[in-house]
Structure 1
Amino acid sequence: MELCSSASLTSFYLKSFVVSLPSTSICSPYSFKPTKQFTSLTVSHTCHQLSHYSQRKLSVSARASASNEVVKDPLSADLIVKETQEPNCRMRLSVEVPEVVCEDCYDRVIDEFTKWAMVPGYPSGRQVPEDILVNYIGTEGVRKATVEAILKKTLPHAMSSVEGRALNDSIRITTSFSEMEKTYASLNILRYDVVVEVAPEVKWVPEDGYKNLKVVVELDSEIEAKTAAEQELKRLYKTLSTMRIVKNRGLQVGDVVVLDISATTVGQDGSEVEVLAAGSKGFNFDTEDGDTVVPGFLDAIIGIQRGETKSFPLAFPDSWKQEDLRGLPCQFTVECTELFYRELPELNDAIADKLLPGCTTIDQVKESLLERYTELEQTAKAQATDNAILDQLQKMIQVEIPKSLFEDQGSQLYGGKLLEIQSNMKLNEEQLEALSKPEAVREFLENQRENIECLIRQSFAVGDIFKRENLQISTDELVKGVESSVAEFKQLKQEYDEESIQAQVQEILEGAKVLEWLREHADVQYIIN
């Protein structure tokens, strides 16, 4: 067993400390036993959503104490702890353990060694003199075990001043183990430094500005229930049509045309350059969906006949969804390879069941569609409202974002994205390994820095409002949320840590409670685009 590794010490104090009988070494009766971690790569889609309110509130010592992993044993004397505030939300705790506490830990180590050490000449149960026991174990081994015991006993006490503020997985013992050994050997005391990231202070600008929110929510006209229901009825009606080949005329609005499209632009050197992203072969275009193409495209091809080619200039608008095409002037060449018109049945009650199974009249079809899209409109409207509120909240707070919190939130988002890619594309092990490499994660974090920091600011804002307004969630809500998440993990046959799930479910419920409170108190105005 490796006893002098500072990395192992740090890992241990971030997770758990257990006393056990060693099987491969007699240097120390203590061993490190980390708990199973809840990693981003085992998060389900639901738990990925929970990360939007992933503010780590409990200190490591407080969380461990709550789960009986670390217990604050009483000390025979007070520690001397000096706090120093450092940049990036870090706190340095310089700890000095007095001699009397060190002696208590030494006695504990001797007692533990006495229980299991099989010293030649001393049958089981017979007391081994201390000097003989130390000589058998080795002075260095006893010293290492004592330093570990001192750390185990004093670290929870040293962390008391930052309990409830320290961020999980951010504690680092920066003093080397060898340096601690030297101090203990020469002075019979122990000194060590701990660096921990603490939850930053949230400052509202203006103060309590969230209490007087005025939110403008922009809604897409397509989510309006009546419009959406009419469009869906039109789409369903089209599915009942019979396609007929157009003869002796050119393209009209309402026709369906198959086009071969190519586009060129002028390069920096004045030469003609093909724009591959703007071209398409066998493009099936319903002329009633003219808003899906470049403005002016439909007007330019009206009248085109089968086998005919037309060429015309158009520029992509600055709002085009493909960024690399925005504002780009192109010369389009379009060949009409097929041209059809629809032969539609009469829109009457006779086709109601074909439009929507179970319906007997067209009115019933319209009512059912309107009811369906009214529910979707309400859901979309609520989501848009929440998004607008959260976006405004994150602009109203000033908060320093700890590095570990940024990396944790970003890693969770990346893990969720990786799961989404895996489910859609069925990546093989080699591809998954490539996407899981640290450099791939770092690139994602840097590219998504603004979005990640926005989510974290939202999280801090929501958490602060929950505390300020003394909001509460019920035990039943928490239990049901945990059960639902656990059931999803089991269904997906994924590993999970129930304690971590409970913490995240609690945070998402708190977020929902805050949004409910804000919707009730905010002045919300809706604009239809």
Structure 2
Amino acid sequence: MKVNVEDISSVKKKLLIEIPKEDVIKETDKFFNKLRKTVNLKGFRTGKIPRSVLESRFRKEAASEIGAELVNISYSQAVEENNLVPLGVPEFDYPEVVSGQDYKYTTTIEVKPSVSIKDYTGLKLKKSVYKVTDDKIEEKLRKLQKNLAQMRTIDEERPVTNGDFVQIDYEGFKDDKPFPPAGKSENYVGEIGSGTLLKEMSDELVGMTRGETKTFPVKFSDDYVPKALAGHEVFFTVTLKEIKNQILPDINDDFAKDLGEFSNLEELKSAIREEMERNYDNFSEKQLYEQVIDNLIAKTDFDLPEVLVNHEVNQMAEHAENSFGSQGISLKDMGYTHDDFLSKYRPAAERKVRGLLTLGKIIEQEGFVINDEILNKGFEILSKRLGQPLESIKMVYKQDKERAAGFEENFLEEHAVAYIIANSAVEEVEAGGDEKDKADDMK
């Protein structure tokens, strides 16, 4: 067998594989001998059908199956002999088998790039420090207070004013037809002036009375999100069904007990502080991790295998689609197609793949292998990050082999990043306002 390897790029190879006619004849004989033992044809006894008859009746099937078997046997041998480790499923381009002739076919594969990385320690890093203030705890308490609030219908006949809660039916129309991206809802409850309703809708509701219906236009900006509404003028028809106010419970020991887990208000405040500190720590560690990855990427330059990038971008897009779907929002509602999402997440996917390949090279260079110390440290970090008991994390590792392999891979990557951080200069800085907002949004 002859194999010629053509470099399309550093990560993409085209193989021209040539199988000698002797092997083709051998595989052809094998196919027809097996076929003769199993096939039934009228006028012939099983096992006694002439080869010429079989070749005539099963020419297409023979060409296809013999070709597939020759490829199956030769491909594995070809990549092994040339020290190639293919990624994903190879692309084959092969003709029909012609008896008595050499068999040639081509295949295109992708392989891991050759990664070169030096000077990955001694970095200058900044770690943002977040402080849990009493104001933040009070803010969380007020959110919990709203969650336990009761709505009471206002019986007096009066117009809607700012700060009221309204129960409405609404639907969006364009060109006198329902416009799904604008939505439709019955008995929707929102607070006037709070941002829970479109500003234009909130403004129009002020002054309306119970039972009143109003239609009004809303012009969405060209850069509005969701994209499906951008640039459109939509007419909303709104019916005011009820005006309500919110009865907030007092924030005291009874309030804490109503949440089901606390004996008094101080216990609740302490739990809120612990949760915030854990979330801030996780966010700060994530920022530091990504800072290391950015530094590593800046020190490397190599081609990315499309198969790895495509796999990652599809996972990201699928996760986002599922997240929106769980909220009852489709891509079409947002004005996106699946391909739009793939384009949107491709830069992030490329960054992630480049980072993981670079970390993989560092793990190889440093000789890091999974051991009890790395496993236990990984379990502790994951337990803290997820807020789950350590033993439940270990149980998943023991019972699910597929997830266990993923755990080990992630733990090695985090161990490599921890090694880089430990051997770099880390300056702690107080988080700024924008960072605090992002950290709060992540919780």
Class of the TM-score when normalised by the shorter of the 2 chains: 0.5 to 0.7
Q: Distance in 2 between matches of 1:483 and 1:399?
A: 39
TM-score normalised over the length of structure 2: 0.60
The yes-or-no answer on 1:216 pairing with 2:216 is no
Give how far 1:419 is off. Answer: 0.6
Q: How many residues align?
A: 332
Query: Could you tell me whether the CA contact under 8 Å between 2:128 and 2:428 is conserved in 1?
Result: yes
Question: Structure 1: which amino acid aligns with 2:304?
Answer: I
Change over 3 Å in CA distance of 1:145–1:447 after alignment to 2: closer
Alignment RMSD (CA, Å): 4.8
2:360–2:413: 8 Å Cα contact kept in structure 1?
Answer: yes
> Contact 2:121–2:421 (CA<8 Å) still a contact in 1?
no
Aligned to 1:377: 280
- 3-state secondary structure, aligned to 2:327: helix
Deviation at 1:121, TM superposition (A): 4.8
Distance in 1 (CA, whole Å) between partners of 2:312 and 2:73 is: 32
Task: Give yes or no for the alignment of 1:153 onto 2:73.
Answer: yes
Query: Sequence identity, in percent?
Result: 14
- Partner Cα separation in structure 2 for residue 524 and residue 378 of structure 1: 15
Query: Shift in Å at residue 195 of structure 1?
Result: 1.1
Q: Which residue number in structure 2 is paired with residue 463 of structure 1?
A: 360
Question: 1:517 and 2:423 equivalent?
Answer: no
Q: Name 2:37's counterpart in structure 1.
A: 115
Match of 2:116 in 1: 203
Matches within 5 A, 1:239-318: 258=163, 282-284=192-194
Distance in 1 (CA, whole Å) between partners of 2:111 and 2:265 is 64
- List aligned pairs for 1:134-145, cutoff 5 A: 134-135=55-56, 137-145=57-65
Amino acid at match of 2:19: V
How does the TM-score come out when normalised to structure 1?
0.52
- Contact 2:86-2:111 at 8 Å conserved across structures: yes
Q: 1:473 to 1:369 in 2, by over 3 A?
A: same
1:410 Cα deviation after fit: 1.2
Cα distance, 1:132 vs structure 2: 4.7
**Aligned equivalent of 1:174:** 93
How far did residue 442 of structure 1 move? 2.7
How do 1:445-456 residues align onto structure 2 when only pairs under 5 Å count? 445-456=342-353
Q: Distance in 2 between matches of 1:151 and 1:503?
A: 31
Q: Conserved in 2, the CA contact under 8 Å of 1:89 and 1:198?
A: yes
Structure 1: unaligned runs, 5 residues or longer: 1-78, 243-256, 260-279, 286-306, 308-321, 323-342, 489-497
Give 3-state SS (helix, strand or coil) of 1:400's partner.
coil
Separation in structure 2 between the aligned mates of residue 458 and residue 421 of structure 1, nearest angstrom: 27
Q: Aligned in 2, Cα 1:366/1:282: closer, same or farther, shift over 3 Å?
A: closer
Q: Any idea what SS the aligned residue of 2:55 has?
A: helix
**Partner of 1:391 in structure 2?**
294
Return the letter of the residue paired with 2:353: I
Distance of aligned partners of 1:443 and 1:117 in 2 relative to their CA distance in 1, 3 Å threshold = same
SS, match of residue 106 in structure 2? strand
Q: Which of 1 and 2 has higher RCO (CA within 8 Å, sep 6+)?
A: 1
Structure 2 alignment gaps of length 5 or more: 150-161, 165-189, 196-206, 208-224, 226-247, 380-391, 433-443
Contact 1:88 / 1:403 at 8 angstroms: preserved in 2?
no
**Counterpart of 1:167 in 2: which secondary structure?**
strand
Aligned to 2:245: none
Counterparts in 2 of 1:161 and 1:411: CA distance versus 1, 3 Å:
farther
| Structure 1 residue 203, shift from structure 2 partner | 2.6
Q: Secondary structure at the match of 1:195?
A: strand
| Cα separation, partners in 2 of 1:527 and 1:148, compared to 1, 3 Å | same
2:322 maps to: 419
Residue 402 of structure 1 is matched in structure 2 by 305
Residue 508 of structure 1 corresponds to which residue in structure 2?
410
TM-aligned CA distance change 1:117 to 1:399, over 3 Å? same
C-alpha deviations, 1:345-389, integer Å up to 9, x for none? 9x9xxx445457745575x66555444433333323222222222
Cα gap change, 1:164/1:416 in structure 2, threshold over 3 Å: closer, same or farther?
A: farther
Amino acid at match of 1:442: D
